[in-house]
Amino acid sequence: MKIGFIGLGIMGKPMCKNLIKAGHRPVIFSRNQATLDELTAAGATSAASPKEVAAQVDLVITMLPNSPEVKEVVLGPNGVIEGARPGCIVADMSSIAPLASQQVAASLAEKGIEMLDAPVSGGQPKAVEGTLSVMVGGKQDIFDRCEPIFKAMAASVVRVGNIGAGNVTKLANQVVVALNIAALSEAMVLATKAGVEPELVFKAIRGGLAGSTVMEAKTPLMLDRKFNPGFRINLHIKDLANALDTSHEVGAPLPLTAAVMEIMQGLKVDGLGDSDHGALVRYFEQQAKIELKRPAAR
């Protein structure tokens, strides 16, 4: 299956590199010349537009910031829909609103083009490692054709339902991650303010019921004051906005998510929008007027 890839940013570029490592020679489009040069040197072929990408491939993968960008690239002028042949598949691996996925899929279906919504979880580190989790919505037979492609970029690939279900699942994932980071931050600041070393608290509770992948990934970074983005606060704000919008559409209140959303908005106002979402801890530090550090750094 010939693959196209559009959206070669912090997540898309390493994902595309893993496709190349797996033996694929994707056709790519980017407005960033340095990215094009890097990936074509690795074995990709560049195209002048999303339309030109789609005209050459059987599967177009998109990895874009949000719903408007997906709609522009797929349905806009010189978009995928203008170049794709009937039977072509669009696998949108962006994290967007479920309703937007359904709208894009409906427009593509009118041209005989198939679609999967297949957002990912794991952030940049797992994109680089090729160990992402992919949650997929769409027809079973289309999923079956694309699953081996996804597995070149991921450790877990699960079909969760029809179009839109992938992004509903991703929103659920982002709610859990956001609340986990907030709870972890709150707990570690409490321990620090009470005079107990947060690193020892981490070691003591990580093996119990409180332990989590979030705790394992974020606690060391908080203690080392490493807030360079694996997943930016701005992007998590986007995901929580989509989660809250969806919750209003279906009638499922998300009061805890709304509270964490406001904390993230405050950090964005403070200029931390491009920091890793682990920087949530800085809100709780500001409130308690204390800072997490390893003992040697005190």
Q: What is the CATH number of the domain that holds 234?
A: 1.10.1040.10
Please check whether residues 152 and 176 belong to one and the same domain.
no
Verify whether residue 170 is a known catalytic residue: yes
Judge if 23 and 157 occupy the same domain. yes
For residues 116-143, average pLDDT: 96
* pLDDT, averaged across the chain: 96
Average pLDDT over every residue of 14-24: 98
- Full residue range of the structural domain in which residue 122 is found: 3-163
**188-196: long-range contacts, CB 8 A cutoff, minimum separation 24:** 188/219, 188/222, 188/281, 188/292, 189/281, 189/284, 189/285, 189/287, 189/288, 189/290, 189/292, 190/288, 192/288, 192/290, 192/291, 192/292, 193/288, 193/290
pLDDT digits (tens, 9 = 90+) for 157-216: 999 999 999 999 999 999 999 999 999 999 999 999 999 999 999 999 999 999 999 999
pTM for this structure?
0.91
Residues 151 and 282 reside in one and the same domain? no
Q: Does residue 23 sit in the same domain as residue 153?
A: yes
68 pLDDT more than 90: yes
Question: How far separated are the first and last CA of the chain, in Å rounded?
Answer: 55
Provide the percentage of residues in the chain whose pLDDT is more than 90. 95
Catalytic hit among 13, 17, 51, 170:
170
Q: Residue 229 has what pLDDT?
A: 85
Stretch 18-24: mean pLDDT: 98
- Asked if 157 and 228 sit in the same domain, the reply is no
Residue 297 pLDDT > 70: no
